[in-house]
Amino acid sequence: MDRVLIACRDFQGLLGAGVPMLAFLDHAQWRRFDLPTGHWPMLLAPAGLADVLHAAVS
């Protein structure tokens, strides 16, 4: 099963810090897309989010 993670800046920091509760997201079954934006990408970077969503389903 293909799983997608879209990570904004704050969440990227948590993943980079190695938070144990998020370790399961580091497996190959997850495809990670990073967005250089804050917590609300649909408001702060709608075009970037649309591009990521399109790439995730293509």
pLDDT, residue 39, reads: 86
Measured distance CA(36)–CA(48) in Å, rounded: 9
pLDDT tens digits along 1-58: 579 999 999 999 999 999 999 999 988 789 999 999 988 999 999 999 999 999 988 8
What 3 state SS string does the chain have? CCEEEEECHHHHHHHHCCCHHHHHHHCCCEEEEECCCCCCHHHHCHHHHHHHHHHHHC
pLDDT tens digits along 37-51: 988 999 999 999 999
φ, ψ for residue 8 (rounded to 5)? -90, 175
> What are the extents of the domains in the chain?
3-57
